[in-house]
Chains A and B, each alone.
Chain A
Amino acid sequence: MIVIDANALVVLLVGLIRPTLINRHKRTSIYDDRDFEELILEIGDLSKLLILPNVWTEVDNLLNNFGGQLKNAYVSELKNLTERCQEQYLETEIAAQDVAFYDLGLTDTLLLITAKQQKKLITSDSLLSDYARAYGIQVYDMVAVANSRLH
């Protein structure tokens, strides 16, 4: 299974709705349709994605303000993804007891704990990526991929 964080899931979801919208949001402003296509290739099979409820909540908080046709497309794609992907709940207490909680906060600490078990993480969060690499987790770091074109 592949664990995915909120920003990366935003890129995936918005890309499925309309790729040209990806760079319109501040948090995904450095990405474009090329990043979406590479993300799809990296995932391969959407049923391999493991998504935490905390991540779904963050994503919905970011995207549930679409209007009109885009709102319909958003609801439809989210429904489709929730049906195809796996979901796993972890208690908040587990994160609060982890040493990474101080730096990463709740959702990213739970992602780190889950990724230690699943061995692969897709993230658009540089700090989470730093931690995951330090723990030997295989990381697809979307910020690093996008920045590799800038050096």
Chain B
Amino acid sequence: MTFKELLSIAKRDLEDLTEVEHPDFRLEQAVYNEDARQWELVVSFLVHNVHRRNNPLSGTPLGLDYTRIFKSVHINAEGEMEGFYMYNQRA
């Protein structure tokens, strides 16, 4: 399975998680797990930043209008997504 196919599958199955018009889906990592016979991906995409913090001094919002979230995704040899999980990019 090519990276292009893997990204396409992840995008198809995760696009309902964002309401951003151009969510900029990205393949961040892709490793084949021989033992589990599945691809283990990390993908990212943009969502609306609904939890913007405020500057405690001025009260103005901090951060960007959009925020990028990362998901760990498992895809089997048949091209089916077996699960997706939270992924901490900085862990």
Contacts and interface: CB of A to CB of B under 8 A. Distances in A.
Interface of A: 26-27, 29-30, 99, 102-103, 105, 125-127, 130-131, 134, 143-144, 146-147, 149-151
Nearest to A102: B53
A27 B30 CA distance: 9
B44 interface: yes
Which range contains the number of B residues in contact with the other chain? 20 to 34
24 contacts: A26-B31, A27-B29, A29-B29, A29-B30, A29-B31, A30-B27, A30-B29, A30-B30, A99-B55, A103-B63, A103-B67, A105-B90, A125-B89, A126-B68, A127-B44, A127-B68, A127-B89, A134-B64, A143-B26, A143-B28, A147-B27, A149-B4, A150-B3, A151-B7
Instruction: Say whether chain A's binding surface is mostly helix, strand, loop, or mixed.
Output: helix
B28 A150 contact: no
Contacts of B29: 26-27, 29-30
A147 B8 CA distance: 11
Contacts of B44: 126-127
Nearest to B64: A134
Contacts of A147: 7, 26-27
B26 A144 contact: yes
B27 A150 contact: yes
Nearest to A104: B90
Interface string B22-37: 0000111111000000
Contacts of B89: 125, 127
Interface in B54-91: 55, 62-64, 66-68, 89-90
Contacts of A103: 63, 67
A99 B28 contact: no
A150 B68 CA distance: 19
Contact of B28 (A126, A130, A131): A126
A98 to B, nearest CB: 10
B73 to A, nearest CB: 14
Contacts of B68: 126-127, 130
A35 B10 CA distance: 23
